[in-house]
Amino acid sequence: MHLISLPIEEQAILLLAGMVLFTSFILLAQPRIVSTIHSFAWQGILLALVTVLVAYDTGLHHLYISALITFLMKGLFIPWLLHRLIHKMEFQREKDIIHHPALVLLAGGFLVIFCYSTALPIAKTSNSVTQPIIGLSMAMVMLGMLMLITRRKAVSQVIGFMAMENGLFFAAISATHGMPMVVELGIAFDVFVASIIFGIFFFHIKNSFDSLDVDQMSKLSEIDR
């Protein structure tokens, strides 16, 4: 596939797909929690833009609704909710220290190469412009999982979990041009409920340990009765 020979909208889809993957690396390397939330918001906005372009290129109008849900939930609502939570808990300047960040990013690069190589036989069976995005969406899931296991702050781990869900949504867009609308609405509702539950979870950690560092839970001990 030669990029220059593609129509302008298909070139834009591939360019935005690369930018979405790049935001996954920003999330992986960003130590400040506020900046991590901003990066997640940009990933949601870019994901919504890719969905709009795929809808325009394929003529599948239900993808416009998917793009709107993605923009409202992941580009606006969830980042706003996380901002509000850390503001109430006075953690605006909190940082999530990343141990050996160079090794983490190097591992992320290897995961991208592995996912792209693994998805290549599957992608060859597709004639769609979203063919190269299958490997990128798998890489987004793996990078979200890597973020989940290398971070110590609860907010960063929640964002890693949400980034994994973004990768799964991206895979649905690239492989099958979206899921049935009832499934997407159900997932959106689940994400909405999960974000509220995570907020309650943050407050419990803050009240118990005066920190969002989940390593503080290791101080828990059983009380002999």
pTM score, whole prediction: 0.80
Alpha helices, H only, the chain: 8-29, 33-58, 62-70, 78-88, 101-123, 133-150, 154-176, 181-209
Q: What is the pLDDT of residues 84-128, one digit of tens each?
A: 888 777 666 667 677 788 898 999 999 999 988 887 776 666 656
Q: What are phi and psi of 74, to 5 degrees?
A: -95, -20
45 has a pLDDT exceeding 50: yes
In the chain, what are the domain boundaries? 8-216
At residue 225, the pLDDT reads: 45
Higher pLDDT, 33 or 46: 46
At residue 224, the pLDDT reads: 43
Q: What is the pLDDT of residues 143-193, one digit of tens each?
A: 999 988 888 777 788 888 888 888 888 887 876 665 665 556 666 666 666
In three-state secondary structure terms, 210 is coil
